[in-house]
Amino acid sequence: MKPGAIGARFEQIALECMERAGLKLVERNYRTRFGELDLIMRDGATLVFAEVRYRRDARFGGSAASVGPGKREKLTRAAQGFLQAHPRFASSPCRFDVIAFDGDADAPAFDWQRAAFEPV
């Protein structure tokens, strides 16, 4: 399976999981000049920017650890771009979640880190 197809598959799994937990999809794969936001969801009044990561090998800390300072800064800037483009959400509380999949692509470990980091 190609890397893009693998990413899309895990984004879909993450979306389904978040919807089962009661979150509502706002936008998927929102692109800005700072990068892409995988999933933008509503959790009640809170706007959730979710980064979906998959790593087959956890040798370097796994998928959650791959969302380092540089990636967090890009996600923060992309979220700011989304909020500027969609003023109806500008006063909403926001959080950044990381949904991490690690290991065998057919049976990965799953970790949903709510409020995984503060905006940079």
Q: What confidence tens digit (pLDDT) does each residue in 64-118 have?
A: 778 889 999 999 999 999 999 999 999 999 999 999 998 888 888 889 999 999 8
pLDDT tens-place string over residues 13-41: 999 999 999 999 999 999 999 899 999 99
Q: Token pair 């879909």 is at which residue?
A: 12
The boundaries of the domain holding residue 10 are 3-117
pTM for the complete prediction? 0.91
DSSP string, 1-51: --HHHHHHHHHHHHHHHHHHTT-EEEEEEEEETTEEEEEEEEETTEEEEEE
Structure tokens that stand for 18 in this block: 């978040």
Check which CATH number belongs to the domain holding 60 and give it.
Answer: 3.40.1350.10
SS3 113: strand
Give whole-number Cα distances, 96 to 5, 23, 31, 75, 100, in Å.
24, 14, 16, 8, 13
Provide the number of structural domains found in the chain.
1
